[in-house]
Structure 1
Amino acid sequence: MPLATTGDLVTRAAADRSAVAAFNVITLEHIEAAVAGAESLRTPVILQVSENAVKFRHGHLLPLARAAVAAAQQAAVPVALHLDHVQSDDLLRQAADAGFSSVMYDAARLPYAENLATTRAAADWAHSQGLWIEAELGEVGGKNGEPPLDAHAPGARTDPAEAGAFVADSGVDALAVAVGSAHAMTERTATLDHYLLKRLATTLDVPLVLHGSSGVRDDELTAAVAGGISKVNVGTALNIAMTQAIREFLATHPEAVESRKYLSVGREAMVGATRRIIEVLGTAR
């Protein structure tokens, strides 16, 4: 199947009052698992490659991107590619030629004026290449091993009025909002601010994105989608599923050295994780 575009998938999900799952992939097994889970439920999916994943792959984007493109083209459901949490302008400019239809440009760490200026420049370039662009306002903590921000810390939540001005002035196509989730959570204990989310959904005329979804319970995710979230990013949940399955396999098979045996177990565990997330979000057909 030809590559889908992130913008189309997110727009369709928003119209259906559902959300499309966007899975961060690190290995070929992540890619295969996300596609297999989506195919089993006959639903579109987004494969995301983060800047951190590119760093893990020795700074080379194309090996993982080419694998994702090949998997998407062979999939029985629409699959889009998204370049996630990009801070490097050099990496940003590799997106279009590598098969990505969208990017998330991450300048949320900067003061508002700098975030706006750099995001505006990134949006102008992305649109000139036909790319859909997502940004972040407020700060979804927990990236790069940093502790999550306190829920009441300045900048920890997205301000609706500021977000309205930011979207209008930056020209972005979607906004990742900080409403109580955090990246890299290994326990599902995050509580979302649904009142704030409702205000953001009412104020903004672009799709809203939830980052750090692995730490959010199913009922909270369902409520977030009902409240206006149209794209849900998931990464750590896949890593937990893979790691636990491999750890259990090796504990019961200490003689095992054939990597295909334990990698296949890890891949199947990630298929299960993708299925659960997709069903919660309401995109399964």
Structure 2
Amino acid sequence: MPLVGTGELVAEARAEGRAVAAFNVITLEHAEAIAAGAEAAGAPAILQISENAVKFHGGRLAPIAAAAVAVARASSAPLALHLDHVESVDLLHAAHPEGFSSVMFDASKLSYGDNVKATAEAVRWGHERGIWIEAELGKVGGKDGEPPLDAHAPGVRTDPAEAAVYAEETGVDALAVAVGSSHAMTARTASLDHELIARLREAVPVPLVLHGSSGVPDEEIRRAVAAGMAKINVGTALNTAFTRAVRAHLDADPKVVDPRKYVRPARDAMAATVADFLGVVNGAVSGS
């Protein structure tokens, strides 16, 4: 089916008191797994390609974007295409011709004033082209190349009053906030600050986004959605499922050389992981 806008999916989810899950695409098999998982769950999803994934592909956005678009259009599930954690203005400007309906522009490493200035300019550029812009305030650590960050350290979490001012000054369409999760977690042990999420929802007029959701247990995600999270980002959980399946196949058959033999079960494992997360974010209202 045709691509759906990220803003449309998030707005629908928010109005219904649920969330939409966004999954990182690194390879063609990631995109195929996300589509298959969404179809199995009967739920919409967002395929997101990060700046780090673009670097992995030699700095070329077009090939992996074209693959994701083709997979989404061939799927029966409502799927959107999102460009994630973009620090490069050049990459931001490459989003429009490749079919992205949304971009997460990440100026969180800058000072507050420079963050506001850079993000407001990204929003202006994006809105002129109908692109929905997400930003980040607070410190959601764990990205590749970053030093370890304690998600519970003082000054890490997003301040509701500052977030309200930031949203007004930048004009962003959604805000990723730091509430206790961290990127690249392989164990689902994160404990979120649900009272803070509720306060942020009251203070900030735009949808809230939870990054680092791979390390968050199901019940914590359900509570976060109930408290106000509208977009749930998942990346590492797919890679964990992929790698575990590949490793199991190679251990069982060390002589195999055809990658299709071990990539197929890896893709299936990612699809099952996608379906599981979609069940959580869409069942959050009923607690199923």
1:208 equivalenced with 2:208 (yes/no): yes
Match of 1:64 in 2: 64
Q: Distance in 1 between matches of 2:148 and 2:132?
A: 28
| CA distances 1:137-158 after superposition (whole Å, capped 9, x unpaired) | 0010011243442245354100
Q: Distance in 1 between matches of 2:258 and 2:7?
A: 41
What TM-score results when the alignment is normalised by the length of structure 1? 0.98
| CA distances 1:225-281 after superposition (whole Å, capped 9, x unpaired) | 000001000000000000000000000001100111100010000011101100011
Task: Output the amino acid matched with 1:117.
Answer: K
Check whether the contact 2:188–2:215 (CA below 8 A) recurs between aligned residues.
yes
Match of 1:112 in 2: 112
DSSP 3-state at the match of 2:11: helix
Displacement of 1:131 in angstroms is 0.1
Check whether the contact 2:152–2:180 (CA below 8 A) recurs between aligned residues.
no
Match of 1:29 in 2: 29
Q: Distance in 1 between matches of 2:253 and 2:87?
A: 42
Check whether the contact 2:151–2:182 (CA below 8 A) recurs between aligned residues.
no
Check whether the contact 2:151–2:181 (CA below 8 A) recurs between aligned residues.
no
Q: Any runs of at least 4 consecutive aligned residues in structure 1 with deviations exceeding 6 A, and if so which?
A: none
Check whether the contact 1:250–1:256 (CA below 8 A) recurs between aligned residues.
yes
DSSP 3-state at the match of 1:100: coil
Match of 1:176 in 2: 176
DSSP 3-state at the match of 2:18: coil
Q: Structure 1 pair 148/193, CA: closer, same or farther in 2 (3 Å)?
A: farther
Match of 2:231 in 1: 231
Check whether the contact 1:140–1:148 (CA below 8 A) recurs between aligned residues.
no
Check whether the contact 2:31–2:68 (CA below 8 A) recurs between aligned residues.
yes
Report the number of matched residues: 284
Please, what is the CA RMSD of the aligned residues?
Answer: 1.1
Using the aligned pairs only, state the percent identity: 60
Match of 1:280 in 2: 280
Q: Structure 1 pair 66/3, CA: closer, same or farther in 2 (3 Å)?
A: same
Displacement of 1:69 in angstroms is 0.6
**Which structure 2 residues correspond to residues 224-263 of structure 1 after superposition, within 5 A?**
224-263=224-263
DSSP 3-state at the match of 2:263: helix
Q: Distance in 2 between matches of 1:152 and 1:242?
A: 29
Check whether the contact 1:51–1:87 (CA below 8 A) recurs between aligned residues.
yes
Q: Which consecutive residues of structure 1, in runs of 5 or more, have no partner in the other structure? A: none
Displacement of 1:109 in angstroms is 1.1
